[in-house]
Structure 1
């Protein structure tokens, strides 16, 4: 991709008419599509909450990862359809035993301060992610990548320097795995694996992610960070592919109310916002070119606290299954959400590549049959009119989350006589509360870190960093361990889903769709990428 700036300028200079800068900008066209580009190349979108962090090795939320993906660049990127394309690495080689990956880094990759990006920057970042003292929420991801010695380092039994990564030279990064992992390259698009500037982090400590301190290597730099309000990114003139970047500026506005965000979108203040629950049919009719819905690699569920601090009632799988059965998912997906989200009866979404989730017993029943079984199971567990079940249920602040929680609690009350006490929390408080097992039932959602079923199923492994309910099943763990080296993982993943359906450590509610209001002047939004890893450098604004 090349921009037409120089050609347009040459044409204008050869003209006898004196043109203004604005007129020159209007003559620019997209080099591939021929569309006339807008003079103002700013993309503005809405986020629900503050980001958890802007540190690649600390960030743990989707919104934060979107920002970090535009500030930093890892070994590999994704194209608009989700396929792998070069990032900092131009290519890689794999050893015959599939245990050693050797990445060749591009010569023109530099940090925003002009320093070269080296293999040592990746070594530092990956060791940092694994080191216990970093306390990365995604520390477990390094072990999940099967990197040699990761498990021992995370456990504190080995030093980070023993991690299976090394800089062969400044432009050659080598990774050694403990077991072959066919989807390993896909995992290098995740923010945890992005390089980190060691000297900057050592100089500024935790404040290195402030705009005045941050040094990044992605297509954009951080120019403004006002928690609770906005994050602004500006084009990184030192980025290796800056010549082919079209968007100049990215603005993320934090707007907690979905309806306020929609109003601001309709007023022209936003280029993208989520559709409020239940409003997609109306908006699709009114704005057929702007209201969009497409499959996403994400699930929406509620998790039981099965740790020692959890309620005794939830230790009984009959109670958990009864609560799961009584939820009419069709009402939630068709009436509450109404954005094309499919109801979920498995933990893994159908959108996952190469895996078809099994049909569960619950999915084949009518809702009346589910309700009847729910009443029977709850009675068997000893709960009823004389001994009503009551528990607390938390979710992070959002009108959509609230509506779903209210509907679920009403279904349980009307069908089973169960009392669910609802409480909402600000995002970071919610994450901490859930992560510390200081809850009884909590909302959960997960968007795949890579397009393979294990990115969901691994969440319920007993030692997973995001197993917030502390579910533990040895048979389940053994299946996932076996899948790491299996040629055909499908039967193992199917059996794992069947265990989830029987034990019900979580209640799958629905699988996500990307339900947006997306301005028609935004070009190249990756609707075909179910992971929704978007790169601002690949977007552009079309002249209206």
Structure 2
């Protein structure tokens, strides 16, 4: 074995830990005077389907899971890998075996030690068909030995290539080298779970009265569709470095109501409603923030055999894509620093060079003319108008985008669009079951590499809700995993997306939020916007 990476605690963390809990008045590193109330309250638009690491699938749920649980590695404010439960790792010369060394002072909230066996159990649980994890495919993406066979139910979970050598040594065996494998273990699916608790309480193990977790916080209150409260976990190995005492997540469906509550001082953070960033930035220059965020917004077509016949025609799909004026969406509807998208992969993804997609270099007038030509060739026009049902999850920004695009389709192509919004969990189920014509999609990177976006185009991907199948795309993505320079493969996959149009890339996200002026420590430079409440703090006003 050759030592590839040995992660050490950051200087700041060492200083904070060394100071113990004696920094009641000032921050131990910055010297700032701390507020007496260290409660962080933020808003989300809907309830997450699950806070079980093996089942979590949405961005807001992942934020809670990062507070309640801790994986092998974490990210710092710039998105770099830093130690979590593991102090470091070694990789074999051939890149097929990773060995993680776990710290010996990590504990569960009930005082039990966190061991390599907890990770082995969690990973095998996430891959087993019995759990039915929507993220089981992530274990396969990690190229873990026998992952495909375990997920398919062809071999027992015990055959998955992860083994606890002893309590502080976890060995992971890959089926092929994966250069970005270490980045993937910051994702919630790879976090440990407490086996005895899971087995005792079953589906209820994550309720406040039952849950045992190993992160910086414990769950103390949960009222679905209303609020979730976390408080400091005294058993967390680095508890002395935590300043925020309580984290309160409030479900506020309406973005404008949430903004009103933020301005009234009830929230420390909330999203900026569509179109309001310029004025808010002018009024509150130190509170309104927009930074690139590793997510892409898109519409997906239902390509199942049971879907409407008109959507099976790539010319129809391409016409609808061409007719979307992305500049109007980002500049007039959203106005928050988002960028028009002609590729699925976010433009700021590490190592990714945006390929030349013909549509991107056309004027909107040229796109509209081509769209009209393609739709006419498909047999649709004023005497035979195309009708479409478009579904999105309840959110004012999604509604604004849907209305704008439906108007573009009407004006340019004469398309009649029926809009429907659904509550988040209902929406996810409908999309997964194929109960839609066109549906809103938003994908946020699980790690900072182009494959985190493009792997959704794999025919076997758990989040390929279009059910797009292209054998050449599958081959290109498989080859990219072992390539020293996969850019050419990524270029070709993006070209296939533009050609076949299983989805319509619409815009690349920016994180557009309001932050209380006394809230500090937010990782603005972390492209994935993976934040940890334990790194935040509030200064005296």
Normalised-by-shorter TM-score class? over 0.9
Summarize the Cα distance change of 1:474–1:3 in structure 2 as closer, same or farther, 3 Å threshold: closer
Query: What is the aligned counterpart of 2:268 among 252, 271, 278?
Result: 271
Superimposed CA distance per residue, residues 35-63 of structure 1 (whole angstroms, 9 cap, x where no aligned partner): 11111111100000001101000010000
Q: Which residue of 2 aligns with 1:513?
A: 510
SS in 1 for 2:205: helix
Aligned partners of 1:4 and 1:31 also within 8 Å: no
Matched, 1:145 2:142: yes
Contact 2:300-2:439 within 8 A present in 1 as well: yes
Of 196, 201, 216, 2:213 maps to 216
Deviation at 1:317, TM superposition (A): 0.7
Contact (CA 8 Å) 2:20, 2:240: kept in 1 or not? Answer: no
Q: 2:56 aligns with which of 59, 74, 79?
A: 59
CA-CA distance at 1:386 after TM superposition: 1.5
Hey, what does 1:93 align to over in structure 2? 90
- Mapping 1:88-237, distance limit 5 Å: 88-237=85-234
Structure 1 residues 211 and 4 mapped into 2: Cα distance closer, same or farther (>3 Å)? closer
Alignment of 1:468-483 (within 5 A): 468-483=465-480
Aligned to 2:299: 302
SS class of match (2:215): coil
Count of residues in correspondence between the two structures: 528
* 515-524 vs 81-90, which moves further: 515-524
2:20·2:241 contact (CA, 8 Å) conserved in 1? no
* Residue pair 1:357, 1:497 contacting (<8 A) in 2 also: no
Judge conservation of contact 2:107–2:214 (CA < 8 Å) in 1. yes
Residue among 333, 336, 340 paired with 1:339: 336
Q: CA deviation at 1:359?
A: 2.3
Rounded to whole Å, the distance in 2 between the matches of 1:190 and 1:52 is 17
Q: 2:259 aligns with which of 257, 262, 266?
A: 262
Note if contact 1:4-1:30 (Cα within 8 Å) is conserved in structure 2.
Answer: no
Aligned partners of 2:121 and 2:482: how far apart in 1? 28
Give the 4+ runs in structure 1 shifted more than 6 A.
4-9
Counterpart mapping for 1:478-493 below 5 A = 478-493=475-490
1:433 paired residue number:
430
Distance 2:325 2:52 in 1: 40
Indicate how the Cα distance of structure 1 residues 94 and 8 shifts in structure 2: closer, same or farther if over 3 A, else same: closer
SS at match of 1:520: coil
- Are 1:501 and 2:534 matched, yes or no? no
Distance 1:51 1:251 in 2: 14
Matches within 5 A, 1:310-459: 310-459=307-456
Q: CA RMSD in A?
A: 1.2
- Cα distance in structure 2, aligned partners of 1:309 and 1:425: 21
CA distance in structure 2 between the aligned counterparts of 1:486 and 1:371, rounded to whole angstroms: 38
Q: CA deviation at 1:357?
A: 1.5
Q: Could you state the TM-score of these two structures normalised by the residue count of structure 2? A: 0.96
Unpaired segments ≥5 residues, structure 1: 10-23
Question: CA separation in 1, counterparts of 2:486 and 2:243?
Answer: 41
Q: Separation in 2 of the partners of 1:524 and 1:112?
A: 25
**TM-score, with normalisation over the residues of structure 1?**
0.96
